[in-house]
Structure 1
């Protein structure tokens, strides 16, 4: 199991405990509603909601060819989730690098953030931008098209 799945599994586990308590307390409808809510939160924090990640070196190579931005992210990051949701379908056009799966990606992020793994860090034309607005990233996608 990787670190990427710890947060979603904890959400499901907590939801299950709460739902069990509610069922034993005689509120099965509330239990089901809360369990569904916890599962949705877990899904939103899982690697499933993001496009498939690639390695930092492959992302650099692809970005050099097509000019698209590279987004360094990690599961469980609310700012990364906001970026992903606000990009909508356009998120598939960005090169995503999960820094928890790619040590080279994590090293790049630390190099531009004073040793911190601050995400999302977006590279456009080789220049880093820390936690930019999703609208700005969409503009960069338009410029690369």
Structure 2
């Protein structure tokens, strides 16, 4: 997981209010992204634990291979500008 070295991957789980907020905000942007439910994908859950100090902290977002744990939309956009400007 986290293998999308060009794009944005949002790791989430059902019932997470922070995930709902970020996913809703992303829907109003033109930013292309993929969503992965960590409760349905053990490899995704393992990836999240590997970048979140062993915790399944969501949302975790991979931007061109760079992990962001529980980012704001602003922080996510800054990471895209830095690591994946072709998506802007």
TM-score above 0.5, yes or no:
yes
* Dislocated runs of 4+, deviation >4 Å: none
Given the alignment of the two structures, is residue 97 of structure 1 paired with residue 39 of structure 2, yes or no?
Answer: no
Q: Which position in structure 2 is the counterpart of 1:127?
A: 66
CA–CA separation in structure 1 for the residues paired with 2:28 and 2:16: 19
Deviation at residue 90 of structure 1 after TM alignment: 3.2
Please report the TM-score for the alignment, with normalisation by the length of structure 1. Answer: 0.50
Offset at 1:110? Answer: 0.8
Q: Please list the CA deviations of residues 28-85 of structure 1 after superposition, one character each: whole Å capped at 9, or x if unmatched.
A: xxxxxxxxxxxxxxxxxxxxxxxxxxxx4xx62xx33xx2211111111011011011
Query: Contact conserved, 1:122 with 1:130, CA < 8 A, in 2?
Result: yes
Bigger share in strand = 2
Greater RCO structure (CA 8 Å; 6+ sep) = 2
Of 56, 63, 77, the residue aligned with 2:16 is 77
User: Paired residues, what number?
Assistant: 84
Q: Which has the higher helix share?
A: 1
| TM-score, normalised by the number of residues in structure 2 | 0.78
- List runs of 5+ in structure 1 lacking aligned partners: 1-55
Asked if the contact 2:7/2:32 (under 8 Å) is kept, the reply is yes
**Higher CA-based Rg:** 1
Specify whether residues 110 and 91 from structure 1 end up closer, same or farther in structure 2 by C-alpha distance, changes over 3 A only: farther
Q: Is there any run of 5+ residues in structure 2 with no aligned partner, and where? A: none
